[in-house]
């Protein structure tokens, strides 16, 4: 389970982004691709642990899950893949390795609360 490492990276970045000592994080918005290798529930659990005693403590992770979409060059169409992801065009049946999305592992934005408000 590498989600704890991932969660620690999130906490680190979030603390860097926070403008000052007194601000706290309410929500962290993430994009996680289906082929990122990250398991959502494991990440939610790990984040709670990783955020303890940091300024991200108590923050909520909002995860947007991004399905894998591949592009087929010969027919020019895009296919959303299921689970397991079979890399084949749904229209012409040709195999394709061209991934358009689904590997994301990104912090999109954070919702912060400025001022002295302690993070209850």
Contact residues for other proteins (CB under 8 A)? 1-2, 5-6, 9-10, 12-14, 17, 19, 26, 30, 35-38, 84-88, 95-97, 99, 103, 105-117
Q: Which is nearer to other proteins, 52 or 86 (CB)?
A: 86
Q: Which is nearer to other proteins, 53 or 115 (CB)?
A: 115
Q: Which is nearer to other proteins, 69 or 105 (CB)?
A: 105
Q: What share of the chain is helix, strand, coil (3-state, %, to 5)?
A: 20, 30, 45
Q: In this structure, are residues 88 and 60 in contact, taking their beta carbons and an 8 Å threshold?
A: no
| Min separation Cβ 88 and other proteins, Å | 7
What is the C-alpha to C-alpha distance for residues 23 and 102, in angstroms, rounded to an integer?
Answer: 33
Torsion sign, CA atoms 41, 51, 59, 20: negative
């Amino acid at each position: 389970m590498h989600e704890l490492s991932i969660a620690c990276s999130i906490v680190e970045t979030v603390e860097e982004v926070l403008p000052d000592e007194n601000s706290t994080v309410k929500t962290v918005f993430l994009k996680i691709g289906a082929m990122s290798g990250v398991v959502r529930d494991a990440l939610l659990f790990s984040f709670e642990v990783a955020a303890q005693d940091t300024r991200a403590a108590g923050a909520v992770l909002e995860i947007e899950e991004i399905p894998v979409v591949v592009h087929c060059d010969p027919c020019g169409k895009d296919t959303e893949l299921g689970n397991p992801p079979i890399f084949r065009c749904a229209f012409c049946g040709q195999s394709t390795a061209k991934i358009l999305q689904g590997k994301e592992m990104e912090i999109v934005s954070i919702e912060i609360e400025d001022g002295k408000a302690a993070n209850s």
